[in-house]
Chain A
Amino acid sequence: MSGALSLARRAGIVLALPAALIALWWVTSAGSDSFYFPPLATILHTFVTLWLSPDAIPNVVPSLIRFAVGYFAAGLIGIAVGIPVGASRKLRQTLEPVLEFLRAVPPPVLVPVLILFAGIGDEMKILVIVFGCVWPVLLNTVAGVRALDEVLEDVVRCYRIGRMARLWHFVLPGASPQIFTGLRQSLSVGIILMVVSEMFAASNGIGFALVQYQRTFAIPEMWSGIILLGLIGIALSLVFRAAEAWLLAWYHGLRRTQRAN
């Protein structure tokens, strides 16, 4: 009973501000005859007809596939490179200046460059996403591997645990809290780059559609696309949090007991 009640209260707290903002938008825009700021009712009506119909599939699905491929590739590359770099001080010292430089390059500026040799197809857009998403994962993996417990390291050696088992049962889980921090940062970077990469040169995608609406002064359509991106961001972040809660259950439990003591 009290559990259900507190759940309802938590939901109330979480949803209160969004609900208030939406209400404010609704009321202030209700009678608007401004061309650029149409009433929210109009925007929502457009949203339903535009994005909740089969016509949306040719734009939404390619965007999400490119995002997923780019994001997962960046995650794999970041972890695969981060582990040896984190484990070796020499490698770290050699690579650090280069990594810092590459990380400082804003990924969108690569779009014109990548168009030159990767064309304007999916490859270019995926590469832009990979380039932006790989750094948070890589740098956090390096930090996670460096911070592995030296007592556990001794345990691994003393019980003669082999290379693969060491990687799978010690290095990866030990660094996983930091790896997840990196993946979380990359998630929002990836969504931004998904849209940006479609704004330059594309024939489909949500970003492409947004630019088309803006150029043809289809203002309610443009606003509805922005709402769609926000909702996709929320959905992805909820999926991510569920995955993290499941895979890092041990870590959150450990932290709770450490705080209690």
Chain B
Amino acid sequence: MLEVKQLRKVYDGAGRAVEAIRDVNFKVGQGELVCIVGPSGAGKTTLLKCIAGLLAPTAGGVILEGNAVHGPPPAMAVVFQEYGRSLFPWMTVHDNVALPLKQKRMTAGRREELVSNALAAVDLANVHGAYPWQLSGGMQQRVAIARAVAYEPHVLLMDEPFAAVDAQTRADLEDLIRVLWHKLEVTVLFVTHDIDESVYLGQRVLIMSHAPTVIMEDVAIDLPDERTQLETRSLPRFGELRKHIYSQIQLAKQGWRPPGT
């Protein structure tokens, strides 16, 4: 349903071009949860912005449900890394979630229903009238997730959404993503630099090379679908997958690239 084809992105700086992404190819099936993990400086955000239609690729492209992406597609929602900057501070939580829906054709009743359901789904049914800055970081990111969920996307893109919250909150938010993904049957593409997080969340993990980026490996995560922080993370298989991806990332950091790229 989502296909990234020979995607290349070169930034034209003053007098010198920087090649951020060389050649990225992968497909995500309907309803899959795929994580993209890479060392810092791997062009993760660049790749995600190209997929989201926020940044035009230099060559190649993105195909969503059969249509080439040339700008943000209506069937896609993004949760950004900087929760403190991705919500409108002058709007209440309710209005933040409702604003994108006002751009869609629907009755006010339907809109209110979507907002209420989305906020209830992220366990924030009681803060409709609060302003984002009155909430903790984890709560703010849940508002951003509710906004994405209420938008009823077919694909949910997440750009290191939990990089800035504390470890405990992070574990809760990871479980929330698994729950929402099951419940909504939405396709999720989750970008992270955290190897454990990618193994815990994903059905597949794509490992990025160092810039100029290519996909080094597409790892299937053969862990049981029912995942819990305590049990899943202590499975021997979890450790093996983690170790494998960790060593690949180490290679990527040292500049190793798949032959021919």
Contact = CB atoms under 8 A, between A and B. Distances in A.
B29 interface: no
| Chain B residues touching A, majority SS | loop
| Chain A residues touching B, majority SS | helix
Interface in A151-204: 151-152, 154-155, 157-162, 165, 169-170, 173-174, 176
B134 interface: yes
A154 B78 contact: yes
B80 A155 contact: yes
A144 to B, nearest CB: 13
Given A152-B85, A170-B88, A250 B131 contact: yes
A152 B102 contact: no
A250 B89 contact: yes
Nearest to A177: B90
B175 interface: no
A96 interface: no
A34 interface: no
A257 B82 CA distance: 17
Interface stretch (B69-77, B113-121, B195-203, B207-215): B69-77
B54 A161 contact: no
Contacts of A162: 103
A154 B121 CA distance: 24
Contacts of B131: 250, 253-254
Contact of A165 (B76, B82, B90, B99): B99
Interface in A241-261: 250-251, 253-254, 257-258
A117 B133 CA distance: 53
B247 interface: no
A154 B88 CA distance: 12
Given A149-B85, A152-B88, A254-B89, A157 B134 contact: no
Which among A154, A165, A257 has the greatest number of chain B C-beta atoms within 10 A? A154
A163 to B, nearest CB: 11
Contacts of A158: 52-54, 72, 76-78
A174 B90 CA distance: 8
A151 B133 contact: no
A161 B77 CA distance: 12
Interface residues of B, number: 27
Contact of A253 (B53, B78, B102, B134): B134
B91 interface: yes
Contacts of B78: 154-155, 158
Contact of B100 (A154, A159, A173): A159
Interface in B49-95: 49, 52-54, 71-72, 74, 76-78, 80, 82, 85-86, 88-91
A258 to B, nearest CB: 8
A125 to B, nearest CB: 36
Which among A152, A170, A258 has the greatest number of chain B C-beta atoms within 10 A? A152
Nearest to A155: B86
A161 B54 CA distance: 13
Contacts of B100: 159-161
A169 B77 contact: no
B79 to A, nearest CB: 10
Nearest to A162: B103
Nearest to A151: B85
A151 B103 contact: no
Nearest to B95: A169
A158 B100 CA distance: 9
B232 to A, nearest CB: 31
A189 B72 CA distance: 45
Given A170-B88, A253-B133, 17 more contacts: A151-B80, A151-B85, A152-B88, A154-B86, A157-B54, A158-B72, A158-B78, A159-B151, A160-B103, A161-B100, A165-B99, A165-B103, A169-B99, A173-B88, A250-B89, A250-B133, A251-B89
27 contacts: A149-B85, A151-B80, A151-B82, A151-B85, A154-B49, A154-B78, A155-B78, A157-B71, A157-B72, A158-B52, A158-B72, A158-B78, A159-B77, A159-B99, A159-B103, A159-B147, A161-B99, A165-B99, A169-B91, A173-B88, A176-B90, A250-B89, A250-B131, A251-B89, A253-B131, A253-B134, A258-B133
**Leading 6 A-B pairs by shortest Cβ distance:** A159-B100, A151-B85, A173-B90, A250-B90, A254-B133, A158-B78
